[in-house]
Amino acid sequence: MKTLINSILVIATLAITGWLKMPFEQKLAEQMHELKLVPPRLTLEERSKLKQKAFIATYGSLRPTIAAFSSVQTTQYHSKQEWDKIENAFSEIVLLDPYNLYYWETASWHMAANAAANKKQDLSLTEVARKREFKKYIQKGKDIIEKGIKINPDNWKLLNLKARLLSNRYRNPNYHAAIKTYREILKTPNLSFHNTKNTEFVIQQCLLQIPEKHQEAYDNALRLFHSAPQYRKPTTQNAIFVGQNHPLNKVAKKMSINEIYGSPHDAYRILNIKWQNRKLGPPPYGIEKTIRLLENELKIPNNKRVFPTKPLSIKSTTTHIIAK
């Protein structure tokens, strides 16, 4: 009898303690969800998409652990080029641990880079099919990032992933959309100057890839150049130089070589590199002429010039003397 009473007392004490703790634990759980310290609760639809082991994990704190193990297991799919299995695996992984940027980035990378490249080189497909599959997997990569942004609207790094993919010249780039996305990043509260600077530079690079935005590219480069010394880099310097030599641009006042580059030596070095990579951007207005002038001014040895001078031949000189 005494044992029964003791058991009842213990059970009653545990029940009362649990009941008293419940409001505190519920409030703590809500705060942890708000701070994104734990994954969000899954909807019924999301639960139905999970396999048994992952579904069981939703009832405890094992979701990030199961996600990590599942991520490691995808390496075997990668080695076998089983892209659909990778896609299905990561669709579960991002449900289990949706606040982990690594999983969104890796899932998108597998689709838009690995799978897309593999399909583009798949000689078992027709040329039309290769192009179709290439575009399809790039879009899958974009869709993954979009889903990540929807779940993590305050994470600017996902916007950066989106913009980088949109501006990748090897992945059907959309520079207009990339610029729009990069400008969304600039609206991020308390964005560091380092990240702001890098974002401004890639916006400038995207503008240079759109022929009809030649005036905006020039104006934007001027704005950056005069806003802070950290922006006085080849990207903006060359954009100003080429922009002010563009026949259709409105230029209030041309800047001199020294004003743009600091010195003739720096100008020659930077313009030389720009000339070697001239096919990657807009037409190099004014660069060839300026390099030739600088080579003469700086007395660059003929064998080291971009545009070496051609000496008069003995035959032509002799002919000229005889003609006299």
Q: Return the higher-pLDDT residue of 193 and 29.
A: 193
Phi-psi region of 172 (alpha: psi -120 to 50; beta: other; left: phi over 0): left
Residue 117 belongs to some domain of the structure: yes
Q: What pLDDT is attached to residue 37?
A: 45
Q: What average pLDDT does range 279-302 have in this prediction?
A: 94
Structure tokens at 303: 């064998």
- pLDDT at residue 62 in the model: 78
Confidence of residue 25 (pLDDT cuts 50, 70, 90): very low
Whether residue 173 is contained in a domain is answered as yes
Q: Which of 226, 253, 252 is closest to 237 using CA atoms? A: 226
Rounded to an integer, the average pLDDT of 45-56 is 51
Question: How far is residue 227 CA from its own chain's centroid?
Answer: 24
Whole-number Cα distances in Å, 285 to 17, 102, 121, 282: 79, 42, 37, 8
Percent of the chain with pLDDT over 90: 72
Instruction: Give domain status of residue 187, yes or no.
Output: no
Model confidence at 39, pLDDT cuts 50, 70, 90, reads low
State the average pLDDT for the chain. 86
**Given pLDDT bands bounded at 50, 70 and 90, which one contains residue 64?**
confident
pLDDT top residue among 39 and 301: 301
Does any domain span residue 163? yes
* Residue 153: inside a domain: yes
Instruction: Reply yes or no on whether the pLDDT at 226 is more than 60.
Output: yes
pTM value is: 0.79
* Percent of the chain predicted with pLDDT > 70: 77
Cβ burial of 172 (10 Å; 0-12, 13-18, 19+) is middle
When pLDDT is cut at 50, 70 and 90, the band that residue 28 belongs to is very low
pLDDT tens digits for range 134-160: 999 999 999 999 999 999 999 999 999
pLDDT in tens, 168-215: 999 999 999 999 999 999 999 999 999 999 999 999 999 999 999 999
**158, containing H or E segment:** helix 156-166
Residue 260 lies in a domain: no
Number of separate domains in the chain: 1
Residue 229 lies in a domain: no
Neighbours of 167 (CB within 10 A): 21
**How far is the C-alpha of 102 from the C-alpha of 84, rounded, in Å?**
19
Check residue 286 and give left, alpha or beta (phi > 0: left; psi -120 to 50: alpha): left
In a domain, 147, yes or no: yes
Mean pLDDT confidence for 98-111: 96
Domain that holds residue 139: 47-181
